[in-house]
Amino acid sequence: MAKELTPRNENYAQWYNDLVIKADLAESSAVRGCMVIKPYGYAIWEKIQSILDGKFKKTGHSNAYFPLFIPKSFFSKEAAHVEGFAKECAVVTHYRLKIDEKTGEIIVDETAKLEEELIVRPTSETIIWNTYRKWIQSYRDLPILINQWANVVRWEMRPRLFLRTTEFLWQEGHTAHATEQEAVEETEKIINLYADFAENYMGVPVIKGRKTEEERFAGAVDTYAIEALMQDGKALQCGTSHFLGQNFAKAFDVKFTSKEGKLEHVWATSWGVSTRLMGALIMAHSDDNGLVLPPQLAPIQVVIIPIYKSGEDMQRVSETAEKIKEELEASGLTVKFDNRDTHKPGWKFSEYEMKGVPVRIAIGPRDLENNTVEIARRDTLEKQVVSRNSVDDVVRGLMEEIQQNIYRKSLDFRRNNTFMVDDWDEFKDIIENRPGFVLAHWDGTRETELKIKEETKATIRCIPFDAEIEKGKCIYTGNPSDKRVLFAIAY
């Protein structure tokens, strides 16, 4: 095989990096921390975008676009927000370059210094709420349900492709409501939408819950998150939905006249998922042979590879292959017939395994004689020879089955790596030696949370919505607790 990955059990981080490169998903760029998303990786992101966008629109949201730049002073307006976001960011200070007359080099034109620096948006609450002030006067102007697909920048000291990059792509929803209840409902609606997407499209089971104060979005009253478990036992936060209360409305003076004629501050939410989802998708399912993609998000769902020796063989095989391609496309599938004569079938097999194409069909002269084809599925690597006439049925069945199987496999993995722990030594041992999700009691204090983090690197990923009420003692202090929270080492 031309392309080999570092095995997962040897070096998981290296395996991930190898895979992103070798499956042609993305690569580092000349700008530190910024990545190039290559066509195959971007095609997956386009599928993610298109499905989510459909869901946002179906739930009444519209897209809009707000500026890339945010005046520096906007960050000072919301006290918690500035702490969280105004630090590691790209600062634009000048708006012109010029040629240095002495050296001939391009230099910054010092006469073109901005009066107020502009920050490349790390998130857009401030500029959007500054805009909403003009849009909202009356309860009739509410709700505002807007989403934006955009690039954002957060300066990243230890970048990793898709998982942590200085520039990343995302969507950010920003909604404005007349009542607290409506805003809370919106926050919940979106976290449920994200969970549905993660589970039914990405095939990644997630735990929905509330963030602790420590882990909350800077400026939020409450942050809901979905958390997934990767194959190395680490947690990956896949999406967040924030109930912002009236914080941004107060910071940007956004008031409305209610039905009762009273002047009130507007209630807000914001929510987002990013190209980080690509990291989750890659890490949740893939194996030492390469990417494993759920059919719902695969840019190529079926690849057909011809096996032939002579040109005559090739022509006969091609005819059948083209017919099968047509049939499958008529069934709504995305099919590639790889008839390149520059690569051998074995090379192609490895290539599409690396790229995670869910189903591979091979056709050779013997298949033509027997009226069969060979069908291989990427998730289990199983092969079967099926009759030519049943190809459409079998492949459509496999699309369903693979989608379900990889979800089930991930769910089994999570079940086998989720631990109910009541003892501090056991907690430390698990986190260190066989990391996974740990459900344990916590006394609810920031102090304890930080101490646990300090001693084990584990953080509270969320307080699961479906946590049962049970009496217990905090894993660290022994103080009383009424439900378990979800601990893990996080990406």
Binding site for its own copies (CB under 8 A): 27, 29-31, 34-39, 42-43, 45-46, 62-76, 82, 86-99, 105-106, 108, 117-120, 127, 130-131, 134, 140, 146, 150-151, 153, 155, 167, 169, 342
Closest CA to 396 of 330, 350, 440, 451: 330
Identify which of residues 172 and 379 has a Cβ nearer to its own copies in the complex: 172
> Of 300 and 430, which CB lies nearer to its own copies in the complex structure?
300
On the CB side of 436, CA atoms within 13 Å amount to 19
Which residue lies nearer to its own copies by CB, 124 or 372? 124
Confirm if 254 and 136 have CB atoms less than 8 A apart: yes
CB of 82 to its own copies, least distance (A): 6
Q: Which two tokens stand for residue 436?
A: 């996974």
Q: Which is nearer to its own copies, 155 or 419 (CB)?
A: 155
Shorter beta-carbon distance to its own copies: residue 81 or 484:
81
Alpha-carbon span 382 to 68, nearest angstrom: 48
CB closer to its own copies out of 351 and 367: 351
Q: How far is the CB of 269 from its own copies (least distance, A)?
A: 17
- Taking the least distance from each CB to its own copies, the nearer of 343 and 415 is 343
The CA distances from residue 185 to 132, 180, 227, 272, 481, in Å, are 20, 9, 20, 16, 27
CB of 337 to its own copies, least distance (A): 15
- The token pair at 29 is 């760029």
Torsion (CA) 10, 234, 272, 296 in degrees, nearest 10: 60
- Which among 329, 305, 326 is positioned nearest to 317, based on CA atoms? 305
Residue 268 Cβ vs its own copies, minimum distance, rounded to whole Å: 17
Q: How far is the CB of 393 from its own copies (least distance, A)?
A: 29
d(Cα 36, Cα 40) in Å, to the nearest integer? Answer: 11
For the bound state, the minimum distance from the C-beta of residue 68 to its own copies, rounded and expressed in Å, comes to 5
- Under 8 Å between Cβ of 246 and 132: no
Sign of CA dihedral 275, 278, 284, 289: negative
CB of 137 to its own copies, least distance (A): 14
Identify which of 276, 315, 391 has the alpha carbon closest to the alpha carbon of residue 35. 276
CB of 59 to its own copies, least distance (A): 15
Cβ proximity to its own copies: between 299 and 364 the closer is 299
